[in-house]
Amino acid sequence: MAAPTEKQVLECLTDNCRKAAEYSEQLALSPKRGQIYLKFRECLSLVEGAARQTAYYRGGDARWLTIGLQMAETHKRAGDWLRGVKQPSGGYRPLTEGQKHPLFMKLADNLRKCGKLAEELRTKKTNRIGPILPVMRQPGSQRDTTPIGWRKSPGGLLLPAA
């Protein structure tokens, strides 16, 4: 069997983003639907794989890998959301009948935006030759690891702040 073309992979990505958004809205209304959740997970998995494959086709364009990583994180969090709405005091409150789950509704919007982003990335000019890698942090932007209540002496030793 021949490998899918880049066009087929991108169609799979955008189509499954749209389907996952529809399933997300269905899950928002009734989170106890097992088949809907399985289809939702399958769509997220296909989007993740298509994003990885597109990054390969595009010669190492890491912007596509970000989409794949976001789908993996979405898959992980959606399972927690099915248990209920998280309370400020901790724990989850089960949804009442007829109430829409706010996180799944927001996810549906974000999945539609993801499909539009993929279409934009597909046609957008990069003005670059070669791989597009993530931007590295500057050396000064790393956080200070000195414990709270301590300070560094000129010689680099940790001393109490007082």
Q: Is 160 within the bounds of a domain?
A: no
- What pLDDT, in 10s, does the model give residues 105-150? 999 999 999 999 999 888 887 777 777 777 776 666 556 666 666 6
Contact 54/64 with Cβ under 8 angstroms? yes
Using pLDDT thresholds of 50, 70 and 90, give the confidence band for residue 11. Answer: very high
What residue numbers bound the domain in which 36 lies?
A: 1-86+96-124
Using pLDDT thresholds of 50, 70 and 90, give the confidence band for residue 154. Answer: confident
The per-residue pLDDT for 29 is 84
- What pLDDT, in 10s, does the model give residues 43-58? 999 999 999 999 888 8
Using pLDDT thresholds of 50, 70 and 90, give the confidence band for residue 101. Answer: confident
The per-residue pLDDT for 145 is 65
Q: Is 18 within the bounds of a domain?
A: yes
Contact 92/85 with Cβ under 8 angstroms? yes
- Average per-residue pLDDT for the chain: 82
Q: Is 150 within the bounds of a domain?
A: no
Q: Is 52 within the bounds of a domain?
A: yes
**160 vs 42, higher pLDDT:** 42
Q: Is 117 within the bounds of a domain?
A: yes
Q: Is 48 within the bounds of a domain?
A: yes
Q: Domain with 82 in it: what CATH number?
A: 1.20.120
The end-to-end CA distance of the chain, in Å, is 71
* Residues 143, 145, 146: CA angle, nearest 5 degrees: 130
Per the structure, how many domains does the chain have?
Answer: 1
Residue 14 has pLDDT above 90, yes or no: yes
